[in-house]
Amino acid sequence: MPVPLQANATANATAGQPSAPLADTIAGALGVGGLGGDVLGALLGAFLIANVMLVMTAVAGPWAKRKITAAFTDRIAVNRVGPFGLLIIVADAVRLLSKELIIPDGADRPAFDIAPILIPFSALLGFAVIPMGNGIHLADPETGLVFAFAAASIASLGLVMAGYASNNKYSLLGGLRSIAQNLAYEIPLVLTGASVILFTGTLQMSGIVAAQTETLINIGGIRIPQWFAFVNPFAFVLFMLANLAEVGRNPFDIPEAPTEIVAGYQTEYGSVYFVLIYLGEFIHIFLGGAIAATLFLGGPAGPILPGFVWFVIKIWAFFLFTQWARSAIPRVRIDQLIEIGWKGMLVLSFANLVLTAVIVGVLA
Amino acid sequence: MSLEEPTETEIEPVPQTAEELADLLGDRVVDREEHVNAPGFVVRPDDVQDTLRTLREEAGFDHLSCVTAQQYADRYESIYHLKKYDDPTDEVSVVVPTPSEKPVSQSAEPVFRTADWHEREAYDLVGVEYEDHPDLRRILLPETWQGHPLSNDYDQNRPQVVPLREHANPLEEDHRAGEDADTMFVNIGPHHPATHGVLHVKTTLDGEQIADLESDIGYLHRCEEQMCQQGTYRHQIMPYPDRWDYISAGILNEWAYARAAEDLADLEVPEYAQVIRTMSSELCRIASHMLAVGTFALDVYGDFTAIFMYAVRDREKVQNILEDLTGQRLMFNYLRLGGVVWDLPEPREEFFEKTRDFLDELPEALEEYHDLITGNEILQARTVDTGVLPPEVAKSYGATGPVARGSGIDYDLRRDDPYGYYDELDWDVVTDDGCDNFSRLFVRLREVEESAKIIEQCVDLLEDWPEDERTIQSNVPRTLKPEADKEIYRAVEAAKGELGIYIRSDGTDKPGRFKIRSPCFSNLQTLPEMSEGEYIPDMIASLGSLDIVLGEVDR
């Protein structure tokens, strides 16, 4: 008996047509039509999704990260405040928000103030086009994938602004490092993403998810779907690596490198600004996970559980992966990083493009 | 006999005895002294470089272990303690007296690079000036300090008043080299996650590469030498060594003082106590190396990572054993002159079992470290061929311990200048020819294995030791007053290298001069050699691989 796949996400989106499923649903539920309904629906939908993401980040940042790292490093971590130490989230929020906001002399304002806002918001923006299952999909433009990559890249701008505006040499180095790193790794990332487009033939997120629902092979009655990670595992590995560099986690956490340049671009940020940058980093990890899930793991698809749950599981799995790498893998040096990026990943991603073209030719 | 092949007889024999050395130095020797550890040759202040060069090139004294300066009633004196890397028992002291009114002496820096910092320290604390020195500034005390604290006329009660304007801008106009300069000056430390304490590295960067680097030390200077000079031999000095290298290498440090003082006062140590000392020292060495490996991984990996916590976890087991033995976890104060303070804890079987359990689990733990660290390809890419310290440079800087052994210098005082029970036991000195960050890390991990071997043999010995022969301390006079004007320089192999103590007795129950030769102090001097031209991350890794403890650097 084949296990039915969740395909809710694609059910209400017709490929090739730009649409805004969640906004439409909300507008419909409220009974407001026309332009007003569109705007209201979109705003409420964005509010809803942003809040879901921020709540996840709040759990991930102060609590899950500590617990996961502790598990890797043979410790216990937070366990005093509330069940499993969960109330540490509240305590940390109060602590961080009540700190004095110190702005260094000679900081370049308003760039110094804009940067910590830009970083989390660019990542949140990317979620607008991610299909999360159960009809939770804010917008579905024809150029969805390009939009997601573009939105994620804005964060680099925030990092450079933060690094430059802090009037701190460590921050400057961190900002420059982050630019060098993002240049070197975004091209392989986008090229590998493009290989998926060869396969799906569309940039629309719903189309990409729909293309992956078909059956790849049946093994002993279990239907293996045509997830791109199964079709081309090489591209998946490549994408995950580039993604790790894109979100700046070990072994590619060079822009921060606490033992070298003391947290790099965020050295001078404290209090609310620190919280914003910190949130931004985690949302960025989640966005990286969401793009990877959409492109390679069938988006919100999965057996038995609802699509949204699968989607959350997949992005948390990516989060776990980044934390695992952080605990176990040494950081590479900046010149090695650039070398891996330009001499290794770039070449491999072009090779992957050719490989994918061959695979698509065989499958089609 | 062909002319091309010089035969044995044509090679001049290396001077061995004091008389031969005196002949070698000729009329540069104006007087002779006899130190407990070595013959002393008194030379004129303007003959220092000549004398040291002759001794290094013609007699093989290639290790300037320490420079001690002190003030007598009628003169200042600098003593250069020379050794051989091949045979550290072959020692010689070059004594350079300088007049009280004009204490100027020639610098030894052109001959031994390590003299740079040692002479700066002598200038800073005692007030001897060195001609030809490339950079004679204060090193431990602030540059605004008035007077030289270890000189005789120093007034401790005089307040050190420093006007605010001298500290108005500590950054000195941002250290800009000029409008067109494309280098950047960065202060790494004194508060930085990777400086292992309050070390300040003044770094000039060219892009990401290090163009110039200077270590600024002294933030943790606690007048340890002076405190020891004010304590009695018998009781009051022993707690201080624990505070030099405070990374749980306490017993190794205590042994340095114990060895010097015992040889000075002719004290015997019972064999049983020697075995306990040997065992506890090696436990300390394991604890220290574990932390060194853990923090090195921390420097290279980045955040709090598995290696650091695993290393601390295993170190914890050693600490528990040491706590059972000494009652303390950090500041042991366990050794006494002539022995140790108390016997093994009762019941002895439990203690032996606990120690054996630790030793049994150690190979597995080390295997894990090798999997995680030395076997990791990224770590190898990061550490192999970075921070290269060629053996000749290392010798010139007086590098010792794992830093020297990682550069292929086969030098370990436990074997070469045996003390304690080491020469009765079966173990090896670990060396590695890589000369890079990886070798230093690898040497430490392998030394842990050797230490475990030593501990195991000690436990075997202690287990079978007849009950009526367990003397833990020899008979030591209640008040120890070594005869006046005896001078001794003795070193032991501490966790970081050669930890030497110079003591001059003045007939009282307190030392006339107490000088600490810290291995970290000499090792840290090699940092510019390793790092210039490399990237910041490699400098951080090199610093981690030196395994310095600022408490010992600054004393």
Residue B208 to residue A335, Cβ atoms within 8 A: yes
Min mean pLDDT across A7-11, A231-235, B9-13 is at A7-11
Q: Mean per-residue pLDDT for A332-348?
A: 88
Provide the residue ranges of all domains of chain A, joining segments of one domain with +: 8-363
A112 neighbors A123 (Cβ within 8 angstroms):
no
Q: Mean per-residue pLDDT for A199-218?
A: 80
Residue of A176, A333, A335, A343 best to disrupt the B interface, most CBs of B under 10 A: A333
Residue A334 to residue B299, Cβ atoms within 8 A: no
Ordered DSSP codes for A266-316: GTT--HHHHHHHHHHHHHHHHHHHHHHHHHHS-TT--SSS-HHHHHHHHHH
Question: Which residues of B fall within a CB distance of 8 Å from A330?
Answer: 297, 300-302, 376, 378-379, 382
Residue of B nearest to A255 (CA): B302
Residue of A nearest to B539 (CA): A260
Q: Is the pLDDT of residue A176 over 80?
A: yes
Residue of B378, B437, B441, B539 best to disrupt the A interface, most CBs of A under 10 A: B378
Provide the residue ranges of all domains of chain B, joining segments of one domain with +: 8-131, 224-329+347-474+491-554
Q: How far is B303 from chain A (nearest CA, A)?
A: 7
Interface residue A173 vs chain B (CB under 8 A): yes
Closest in A74, A251, A259 to B313, CB measured: A74
The residue among B288, B284, B232, B222 whose CA lies nearest residue B516 is B222
Residue of A nearest to B379 (CA): A330
- Rounded Cα–Cα distance for residues B103 and B44 (Å): 12
Residue A331 to residue B300, Cβ atoms within 8 A: yes
Q: How far is A41 from chain B (nearest CA, A)?
A: 43
Min mean pLDDT across A11-20, A264-273, B144-153, B202-211 is at A11-20
Q: If you count residue pairs, one on A and one on B, with CB atoms under 8 Å apart, how many are there?
A: 88
pLDDT value of position A8: 40
Interface residue A258 vs chain B (CB under 8 A): yes
pLDDT value of position B207: 79
Interface residue A73 vs chain B (CB under 8 A): yes
User: Would you tell me which residues 36-65 of chain A have a C-beta closer than 8 angstroms to some C-beta of chain B?
Assistant: none
B513 neighbors B481 (Cβ within 8 angstroms):
no
pLDDT value of position B255: 92
- Rounded Cα–Cα distance for residues B542 and A165 (Å): 31
Residue B535 to residue A335, Cβ atoms within 8 A: yes
Q: Is the dihedral of CA A13, A19, A24, A26 positive or negative?
A: positive
Closest in B208, B297, B309 to A334, CB measured: B208
Residue of A76, A260, A261, A323 best to disrupt the B interface, most CBs of B under 10 A: A260
More confident call, A182 vs A134: A182
User: Would you tell me which residues 89-118 of chain A have a C-beta closer than 8 angstroms to some C-beta of chain B?
Assistant: none
**Strand order, beta sheet including B63-71:** B29-34, B39-43, B92-99, B75-83, B63-71
Question: Which residues of A fall within a CB distance of 8 Å from B538?
Answer: 333
Residue A250 to residue B306, Cβ atoms within 8 A: no
The model carries a pTM of 0.84
Could you give the angle at which helices A34-59 and A88-97 cross, rounded to 10 degrees?
100
DSSP B497: E
Containing B336, the helix (H) or strand (E) segment is: strand B335-336
What ipTM describes this predicted complex? 0.76
B105 three-class SS: strand
Residues 6+ apart with CB under 8 A from B210: B203, B204, B531, B532, B533, B534, B535, B536, B539
Q: Which fold has domain B224-329+347-474+491-554?
A: Cytochrome-c3 Hydrogenase; chain B (1.10.645)
pLDDT value of position B501: 92
Q: How far is A321 from chain B (nearest CA, A)?
A: 15
Low-confidence ranges of chain B (pLDDT < 50): 1-2, 6-9
**Which numeric CATH code is attached to B8-131?**
3.30.460.80
Across A148-152, A214-218, B254-258, B383-387, which has the greatest mean pLDDT?
Answer: B254-258
Residue B297 to residue A330, Cβ atoms within 8 A: yes
The residue among B476, B412, B428, B472 whose CA lies nearest residue B276 is B472
Residue A259 to residue B298, Cβ atoms within 8 A: yes
Q: How far is A263 from chain B (nearest CA, A)?
A: 10
- What rounded mean pLDDT belongs to chain A? 82
B121 neighbors B98 (Cβ within 8 angstroms):
no
pLDDT value of position B1: 43
